[in-house]
Amino acid sequence: MTANVLDGKAIAGEIQAELAEQVTTWTEKHQVTPCLAALLVGDDPASQVYVRNKQRACKRVGLESQLHRLPANTTQQQVLDLVNQLNNDPAVHGILVQLPMPASIDASPVLDAIDPAKDVDAFHPENVGRLVQGRPRFLPCTPHGIQQLLHRYQIDVAGKRVVIVGRSDIVGKPLALMLMQRNCALGPAAVNATVTVCHSRTPDLPAITRQADILVAAIGQPQFVRADMVQPGATVIDVGINLTDDGLVGDVDFEAVKEVAAHITPVPRGVGPLTVSMLIYNTLQAARLQVQTDDAG
Ligand code: NDP
C-alpha cells in the first residue's frame, strides 16, 4: 500500500481563499480592517522566517499586520509594556508573541499579559481553560489546522483511536483536548475520538502507536516514527519541523511509513502551512468579537 499524501499546502490555500472573501465582506460592513500585531524579540533566524510568512499570509487575505521588533537585550518590563500598549490599541485585534524569546525573558508572564480577547495563539490561561471546558474562544493554530485537514479530507475522528506523541502546550495537549470534545464547529465527526497522549516517559511506545487509527507525531526528533510503529491503514500526521543536513524533515520516516499508512502528511507542505492559515482565522475571529462588542452587532 502507498499512502494518500495529504496536501496541507493546498488545503491551507483553500482556507485562505475562503478567509479572504470573509475579510472583504466583514471589512466592507464594519469599515475596519482586522489587524495582527507580531512581537519579535531578538534575531533568531527561524523566528524571523516564521513572522515573515505570517505577515505575507495576512497581506494575501487582506489583513493589516504590524511587526514590532525588539533587540535581544530588551528587558522583561519593556516587552510587557509593549504588550500592554498593543492591548490598549483598538486598531490591533490580534497579538502574536513569536517564540522562543531570548533566555533573559520569561515567556509565561508575557503570554499571560496578552488581552485574552486578542490572544490569537490561544496560549492565555483563560483561553486554555475555555478549551478544556469545551467552550473555546480561539482554537490553538496547529491543532486546529490538523483538525481542518482531517475534516476536509473527510477522515472522521469520531470513534477512532488517536495516539498523539508529544505533550507540549502548543500541540500535543491542546490537540488531545480538541479531539476528545463532544462537538465542535465542524460537527461531531471531527471530534469524539478516544485519545492517548504519549511522551518521553511512555514505556513501550511502539506498542501504543501501533494501536492508533490516527497517529500524530509532535516530538521534534527527525524521522522518529518508523514503519513498524504504525498500524497498517492508519492516518499519520507529522507535525515535526527538523532542520537536518539533508534539509527539512518531519518526525516521521516518510518514505518508509507511506508504504504502511493509508494517509500521511508530508514535511514540508503538510501541517506547517495550515498553522499560519488558522492564525489568520483567529485574527478575523478576534476582530469580529471586538467590533461586535464595541458596536453591539
Ligand atoms: P516540545 O519540545 O515542546 O515537545 C516535544 C514532546 O515530544 C514532549 O512532550 C516530549 O516528551 C516528546 N518527546 C520527545 N522525545 C520523545 C521520545 N523519544 N519519545 C516520546 N516522546 C518524546 O515540542 P513542540 O510540541 O513545540 O513541537 C514538536 C515538533 O513540532 C517540533 O519539531 C516543532 O518544530 C514542530 N512544530 C511544528 C509546528 C507546525 O506548524 N508544523 C508548530 C509547532 C511545532 P516530554 O514532555 O516527556 O519531554
The per-residue pLDDT for 292 is: 74
Pair 37, 154 in one domain: no
Residue 236 is assigned to a structural domain of this protein: yes
Are 71 and 104 in contact, with CB atoms under 8 Å apart? no
Same domain, yes or no: 216 and 151: yes
Same domain, 105 and 44: yes
> For residue 219, which atom of ligand 1 is closest to its CA?
7
Q: What is the phi-psi region of residue 269: left when phi exceeds 0, alpha when psi lies from -120 to 50, beta otherwise?
A: left
Q: How far is the CA of 205 from the centre of ligand 1 (A)?
A: 15
Q: Which of 169, 154, 114, 122 is nearest to 141 (CA)?
A: 122
Enumerate the active-site residues: 54, 98, 121
Within a domain: 181: yes
- Domain range for 90 is 32-115
C-alpha cell at 138: 480561539
Asked if residue 248 and residue 165 are part of one domain, the reply reads yes
CA of 95 to the centre of ligand 1 (A): 24
Candidate from 96, 99, 219 with most ligand 1 atoms within 8 A of CB, to mutate: 219
Distance 85 CA to ligand 1 centre (A): 32
**Structure-block grid coordinates of residue 96:** 502574536
Mean pLDDT by 10 residues, the chain (297 residues): 95 98 97 98 92 96 98 96 98 97 96 98 98 97 98 98 98 98 97 98 98 98 98 98 94 98 97 97 98 62
Q: Into how many domains does the chain fold?
A: 2
Looking at ligand 1, which residue's alpha carbon is closest to its atom 47?
A: 200
Q: Give dist(CA 135, CA 257) in Å, integer.
A: 36
Work out whether strand 64-70 and strand 4-5 pair parallel, antiparallel, or are unpaired. Answer: unpaired
The reported pLDDT for the residue numbered 34 is: 98
User: The pTM is what?
Assistant: 0.97
Tell which phi-psi region holds residue 178, choosing left (phi > 0), alpha (psi between -120 and 50) or beta.
alpha
* 174 CB within 6 A, ligand 1: no
